[in-house]
Structure 1
Amino acid sequence: MSRVDHFRDPEAPAPNSIVIAVSTFVLDDAGRLLMIRRTDNDLYALPGGRHELGETMTETAVRETREETGYDVAVTSLVGIYSDPEHVMAYDDGEVRQEFSICFRAELTGGQARTSSESSEVVWVDLDHLDDIEVHPSIRLRIEHARTEDPAPYYT
């Protein structure tokens, strides 16, 4: 399945669903950021995905990071809650999803890189080289918020 992200686009289709999702901001000892290249839109993103029944949100963050990257993490804090109605994702099956994502900071605890059906590439990106890769503006916003010294979570 492929998707197109619309961000503050007046021509975007109207949303017809909402899904609770998470993303994780993980730095290694060298200060590089863990990212995946998504298979549905070919953009680089923070690992994450859909919340499943029976999980806490932090369990979802740990599971999704492991599934998409091969790495184990422990959640350490909340970056923010992202629910901008002007960010919708249009899927080729007709679903148009309004953004609803909770982003967490997490620390690396083990594992090794591997791809999945949702990630064609797993990379550690030097924060000074983020402009060298294609990242959606909504993900850049999460990264910017995670890098701030302000401990207060962001929310929309």
Structure 2
Amino acid sequence: MLYRRKTYTIEPAMYETFTHFFHTYLLPNQLTHGAQLVGRWVNEEQTEIMAMWSYDNRAHYETVNIGIRASAMHAEAQNYRKSLAELFISSNEDFFSSTGDYGQSRQILAVSGYIVNEEGHVLLVRNNHRNDTYEMPGGRLELGETLKEAVKREVLEETGIHAEIGDMTGVYQNITSGIICMVFRGSVISGVPAAQPPETIDAQFVDFDKEQVEEWLKRPQFASRVNDARNNESIAYESYEVRPYRLIERS
């Protein structure tokens, strides 16, 4: 994990205004693009506010940052700042890596969609930060979402496709990163697949048989999800480690 500490120096009289700015613009934009808020603190004098964010790695941080700066919410935030005399005096940031796990482990809940068109072709994406393989569209669950709502949103955000979501096909536990991913079948309602920069660099419907799955999905943890969605009537469960990949359990 990569951690980013962002510190703002403010006038005490601007504390409530800055807090409103943070919760209205900074927080939702970061979460939408994949960052996680570790915590936010203020000193007793209310002259310094510090927020700590977490990312999967440096490449993930760069992707999140590009997405935020290209977003409409970022433009709104800049306009809000310009409307005020001085929202904050100065800011700075620095980066940290963890030296160990000293607290309770936190699991991250994610979703993915096995989305097919009328011809039965499967919707796949190639992500900017994981461009060695194709995979099914998906991402982290956001606060207040149902699982199926999250699949619909991630599919739309990564491919431009509106989809109807059906049954769950499997649960997959990445022990290394603490991510639990739930996969759902779905079908296209409307739209044409297209890359959605900066997150995805390709999105397309692919026609392939069982022997060709690993030609597209080059990481075994992604290939097994497609095979399960195609073949299993019951819900599959799989746990594994990565770097290097090692299957721990499957049923």
TM-score with structure 1 setting the length: 0.78
How far apart are the structure 2 equivalents of 1:41 and 1:2? 9
Query: Which ranges of structure 2 fall in alignment gaps of 5 or more residues?
Result: 1-57, 61-99, 239-251
Alignment match of 1:99 (pick from 169, 176, 179): 179
How far apart are the structure 2 equivalents of 1:155 and 1:20? 15
Cα offset for 1:66?
A: 0.3
Aligned to 2:161: 71
Q: Which segment is superposed worse, 55-64 or 121-130?
A: 121-130
2:230 matches 1:147: yes
Query: Which ranges of structure 1 fall in alignment gaps of 5 or more residues?
Result: 4-13, 89-96
3-state SS of paired residue (2:229):
helix
2:195 matches 1:115: yes
3-state SS of paired residue (2:223):
helix
Alignment match of 1:20 (pick from 109, 116, 130): 109
Q: In the TM superposition, what are the counterparts of 1:8-87 in structure 2 within 5 Å?
A: 17-42=106-131, 43-85=133-175
Q: Identity of paired residues, percent?
A: 27
In the alignment of these two chains, the number of paired residues is 135
Aligned residue identity for 1:34? L
TM-score with structure 2 setting the length: 0.50
Aligned residue identity for 1:38? N
Cα offset for 1:151?
A: 2.0
Aligned residue identity for 1:109? I
How far apart are the structure 2 equivalents of 1:131 and 1:142? 11
Aligned residue identity for 1:31? G
Q: Is contact 2:134–2:217 with CA below 8 Å preserved after alignment? A: yes
How far apart are the structure 1 equivalents of 2:199 and 2:224? 21
Q: Rg: which structure is higher?
A: 2
3-state SS of paired residue (1:106):
strand
Deviations 1:78-114 (A, max 9, x none): 11111142xx3xxxxxxxx223100000111111222
Aligned residue identity for 1:126? D
2:192 matches 1:135: no
3-state SS of paired residue (1:155):
strand
Q: Which segment is superposed worse, 129-138 or 103-112?
A: 129-138
Cα offset for 1:17?
A: 4.9
Q: Is contact 1:62–1:73 with CA below 8 Å preserved after alignment? A: yes
Higher relative contact order (CA 8 A, sep 6+): 1
Q: Pick the structure with more helix per residue.
A: 2
Aligned to 2:14: none
Aligned residue identity for 1:64? E
How far apart are the structure 2 equivalents of 1:52 and 1:101? 13
Q: Is contact 2:161–2:193 with CA below 8 Å preserved after alignment? A: yes
Q: Which segment is superposed worse, 24-33 or 63-72?
A: 24-33
Deviations 1:63-82 (A, max 9, x none): 00000000011111111111
Q: Is contact 1:21–1:100 with CA below 8 Å preserved after alignment? A: yes
How far apart are the structure 1 equivalents of 2:120 and 2:216? 17
Q: Is contact 2:194–2:204 with CA below 8 Å preserved after alignment? A: no
Aligned to 1:2: 59
